[in-house]
Amino acid sequence: MATFKIDSVLKKLQLQAVNPGVSSGRSWFKDSGKYLSSFSPVDGKLIAKVSVASAKDYEKIIDFAQSAFHIWRSVPAPKRGEVVRQIGDALRQQKEALGQLVSYEMGKSLEEGLGEVQEMIDIADFAVGLSRQLHGLTMHSERFKHRMYEQYHPLGVVGVISAFNFPVAVWSWNAFLAWICGDVCVWKPSEKTPLCALACQHIVNEVFKRNAVPEGVSCIVNGDHTIGELLSHDVRVPLVSATGSTRMGKKVGAAVGARLGRSLLELGGNNAIIITPTADLNIVTIGAVFGAVGTCGQRCTSTRRLIIHESLYDAVKKKLSKAYAQLRIGDPLDRNNHVGPLIDEAAVAQYLSALEQALQQGGKTVVAGGVMKGKGYASGCYVKPAIFEAKNEMEIVQHETFAPILYLMKYKTLEEAIALQNGVPQGLSSSIMTTNLREAELFLSQEGSDCGIANVNIGTSGAEIGGAFGGEKETGGGRESGSDAWKVYMRRQTNTINYGATLPLAQGIKFDL
């Protein structure tokens, strides 16, 4: 079923067997002769090839982006928002095709693929409204007949490095906000999902062309890690937004920091759900299972740990085991299946290594893992979601494994549970399942979760675009999407206006001439 319409999907999205991989927003650069090959984890088949950027291509793209910025920043923000509104409409028209491509190239379920495109539409709507709300503050001056206020100006060229697990949505979180702020974007997509990125670029190019948007406002540069390194070290790129592993983020942060640039880092998660004695176990089961196995455990917000009160431990373990036995693993484009494949064979190898380490370090199997064999699993990327009883201090538990592996552990007091929740290097998403108001409030207080996201009676996985998304500690400290996350794409300026006939100095200083 996965290959059911792939040729027609590619045609709808203006993709071919071999595609140019570099665009300045109006035109596509000539084939470089070197390619990325995109294989689907669904069936292992080659989807298409994408040419990669050379160093000369990168330089041309930055030149285009810099030139475009000087024009784009002068366009009134609401008019920039109108262009983004049209992009949202174009995405609505292409939602089915783009969602299918996301599912086929990345391996997530079709519902999740369509949902990811809907996130793009939602952030477009958010950005349109925001284009009329890029506000500063007005302050009272201590000096007679003076007015103080602050305002925000665009930064310039914004580099966006995205990951394979959300091949289109996370780019839109950055690009759509950056565009309404007056910035221009250079996008380096994941090498594992280049076709999804090209499809987005085609959609944007058409909208920009209709609106006479300057060439260079939306650029795409396909390639390997060397393109990311060029962006990170480039003083002409004041902000680099990078989504991926903590290891990658540390390299980006160090390179950008060394030149005193800005980095917005969205890195790994090691997310836990605390289950208290008053929890609704039906909600617990739904939240924990989807959080652990959705996208085959390849979300930065995937649930990795369940911290369960000792009085409920056996009951929760039994419910989870029963639920896991009902999971259907297979083609993600088949709506009857719950779990699709991992992204590639390298991810499978990391999964198998984590299973082995969990046992070696003292974990006890609750639901056994393994690679799926037989008809329908030819790609070799389908694996069984696994559950272990474990200790929080185990080395494998302390690390993020991008796969459907869930660790169970007991606690006695809520304070102990919160300490376990916080006792990992990462700090992205967290959750508590409780019907006790005091427990919920303690978890959300300064004594509670140390994560950027803390939920009550919902899982760790996923987020609405209206709230700022991001985490603390080794998750990088970045914030994207909603709330006032737009401010990271702008520079703040404080202004003072003297509308009087004298020049009084601050703090009453006298300097008479």
Catalytic residue among 112, 266, 400, 439: 266
DSSP state of 62: H
Question: Contact 385/289 with Cβ under 8 angstroms?
Answer: no
**Backbone torsions φ then ψ of 415, nearest 5 degrees:** -60, -40
Instruction: Give the side-chain half-sphere CA count within 13 A for 88.
Output: 21
CA distance 147 to 67: 34
CA–CA dist 57, 221 (Å, integer): 8
The full DSSP string for 20-55 is: --EE-SS-BPPP-S-EEEEE-TTT--EEEEEEPPPH
DSSP code at position 4: T
Quick check: is 266 catalytic? Answer: yes
Name the nearest CA neighbour of 3 among 38, 40, 50.
Answer: 40
300 part of the active site: yes
* Alpha-carbon span 335 to 338, nearest angstrom: 8
Return the bridge partners of 242, or none: 161, 265
In the DSSP assignment, the letter for residue 213 is P
Which residue of the set 185, 196, 219, 300 is catalytic? 300
**CB-based contacts of 355: which residues, under 8 Å, 6+ apart?**
369, 370, 386, 405
The DSSP bridge pattern shows strands 239-243 and 262-266 to be parallel
CA atoms within 13 A on the CB side of 332: 33
Residues in the chain: 513
Active-site amino acid positions? 266, 300
